[in-house]
Structure 1
Amino acid sequence: MKTESTDANTSDQGLITLAHGAGGRVMRQLIESICVEAFNNPALALLEDQARLDMAEIAAHGDRLAFTTDSYVVDPLEFPGGDIGTLAVNGTVNDLAVSGARPLYLSCALILEEGLEISRLRRIMASMSDAAGVAGVSIVTGDTKVVPRGKGDGMFINTSGIGVIPQGVELAASRCQPGDCVIVNGTLGDHGAAILQARGDLALEADLVSDCQPLHGLIARMLAVCPQVHALRDATRGGVAGVVYEFAEASGRAIRLFEDQLPVRPSVRGVCEILGLDALHFANEGKLVAVVPREAADSMVAVMREHPAGRDACIIGEVLDGPAGSVQISTLMGGVRLLDLPIGEQLPRIC
């Protein structure tokens, strides 16, 4: 049974109440009129407690499953370049994609706060649906809970994802080798700076937009031209600095970044200078870090620049033999300094 969205319990003039999470008729109306309508696919429409997926279809794409989960608590819920819904879809798609997997299916669990505007929920579910469509994935199962006013900060989302890794694809941070080049697909820190501006904590007039986007299409093209890519990671919390430290520690190598080659928009650089922060530590939601053999690096960058998600791709560093686990920066002044990781997160509630 499909309930019209003009029902008093789910109209866009209404608010989420505790009844919307109580398991009764009001909850079913909410799920059917907003979630099922937005995500519309046969597996979800059954409204069972689980999605039932065709193993033959899954196996046709590769020989291993990739499975990931993540929770999203971003503040504010909507921001320039996206919202918590697009963030949840693209973040989970990208966590699958950096393993080399083709993303296929997502779950969506909502924790809603009493008092959330149903119109806002409908917008966010619509944007999730749009993001899933762009990424070519289906949201096939989910859950809804409601917490009392003041206990949930509007809305939290948990998404899990399933993808399939093709035969022969082996990506791991431990595979970084001396002489490899470190590549990014575009400008750094866009998401973190956009969220900071959207919070209104600073009187900033810069045009800052999140880079939230799916990366699996770009990654598929990268692997097609260079199957010997050693490592891939999306640079979310902790930024590029966090990723290269993970690479260095897992491989027992050192990584040196070139300060004069780091791609940072002037508006983001200005925010960093005002706050005394480093764009290398800012979160991204549409950026990856790749480690590839030196002989493949230039052709890889050229191929990446042909894809919309990689137009600003460039080489930003190299892998060295040691000291093991260290990250260095060749500075604009011609010196070399160690890159430190912050003890805590520079900007909380960023994703």
Structure 2
Amino acid sequence: MQTRLHTRYAASVRLSVAPMMDWTDTHCRVFHRILAPHARLYTEMVHANAVIRGDRARLLAMDPSEHPVALQLGGSEPDLLAQAARIAADAGFDEVNLNCGCPSDRVQAGRFGACLMREPALVAECVAAMQEACPVPVTVKCRLGVDDDNEYERFLGFIDTVAAAGCRSFVVHARNAWLQGLSPKENRDIPPLRRDWAWRLKRERPELEVVVNGGIADAEVAAEQLGHLDGVMLGRAAYHTPWLLHELDRAWFGGEPRTREGVLREMRPYIESQLERGVYLKHITRHLLGLFAGQRGGRAFRQVLSEGAHRPGADWSLIERALEPTR
């Protein structure tokens, strides 16, 4: 039942921001959308059970400005994933993405995330059920393999099995997931990157949409990927040095030059509306701390926000004070 992507969404595959637990909430995504009008944004991973039975108002919170935005689901039960995918589409998400890459102990215990790399037939069944249940694209985010899986053919077999179920778009975190002996944090750095596997996949399966994720921290590396792949997904770089996201969006899609302060001021209506709803400033400003990274006054900007945003009554005036050292 997948439908054709609308023009704005189709173009956005070139640049996206990874789903990151405890980071890419709705406040973060609103900020990233201002920085990068053309980027594809992702929610944090939400388990299918939580979507079906949990607090949807909180778990599926989304501001209209975020589009195009995808909901990333965790899970391994086709029926539940299908229900959750239908709910996501009804809630207005533009895509549903199945997580086959998270290496945490919690996902291993629940038989989802990276451990699904060793169950391609089950992933294919899940994808087929999700596609049948909802009208928006269903995509997969995966690793190269698990632990000491070092055969490209095994990775390709996973992709081919899932693609045969109808999935046409894959985000490849270009390193293995180690399920034993490494923490989720270590899994972001220690397994070696092998972006050449993603490049090879695109060469051998040109009909598939292939986006690469993992270790992309500067514009030069990001641009190199577009010579081989359909898109680039930024992870921690989009969070710690968010101006890179803006620079790539402008370089790849065009647009007028902007300033960091100007981008931040575009956030003001959203921030003040959230404060009126009872949201604490700290929940928003934690996503803004890296905006002036490496710039004059950047450290002071971060310090003012870090020290003041948690205080009762903190409002936009604190952000004005944080901006002063950057001028």
Q: Structure 1-normalised TM-score?
A: 0.24
- Larger RCO (CA under 8 A, 6+ residues apart): 1
Larger helix percent = 2
- Which structure features the higher share of strand residues? 1
Q: Whose radius of gyration is greater, 1 or 2? A: 1
